[in-house]
Amino acid sequence: MSLTQRLGKITVFGRALNKDVGSMEDRPEQLQAMRQQEFDFWQDHSLHYLEMAFRTDRREIIERPDGYGKRTGECGDTVEMFLMFKGDRIASVSFDTNGCMSTNACANTVAELAEGKSLEKAWGIRPENVIDYLETLPTENTHCAELAVGAFYLALANYKDLQRNPYKKYGSNHR
Residues 120, 122, 125, 129: is their CA dihedral positive or negative?
positive
Residues 6+ apart with CB under 8 A from 174: 64, 65, 68, 158
The residue ranges of every structural domain in the chain are 3-36, 47-168
Confidence label for 175 from pLDDT (cuts 50, 70 and 90): low
65: number of Cβ within 10 Å: 23
> Quick one: average pLDDT of 28-42?
67
- Taking 60 as the threshold, does the pLDDT of residue 25 lie above it? no
Confidence label for 8 from pLDDT (cuts 50, 70 and 90): very low
Q: What pLDDT, on the 0 to 100 scale, is given for residue 1?
A: 42
> Quick one: average pLDDT of 106-133?
98
Q: What pLDDT, on the 0 to 100 scale, is given for residue 40?
A: 86
3-state secondary structure 26-83: HCHHHHHHHHHCCCCHHHHCCHHHHHHHHCCCCECCCCCCCEEEEEECCCCCEEEEEE
- Taking 70 as the threshold, does the pLDDT of residue 11 lie above it? no
Q: What pLDDT, on the 0 to 100 scale, is given for residue 167?
A: 77
Q: What pLDDT, on the 0 to 100 scale, is given for residue 32?
A: 60
Structural contact between residues 124 and 113, judged by C-beta atoms closer than 8 angstroms: no
Q: What pLDDT, on the 0 to 100 scale, is given for residue 16?
A: 44
Confidence label for 169 from pLDDT (cuts 50, 70 and 90): confident
Fold of 47-168: Sufe protein. Chain: A (3.90.1010)
**pLDDT tens digits, 79-112:** 999 999 999 999 999 999 999 999 999 999 999 9
CA–CA distance, 45 with 169 (Å, rounded to integer):
40
Confidence label for 15 from pLDDT (cuts 50, 70 and 90): very low
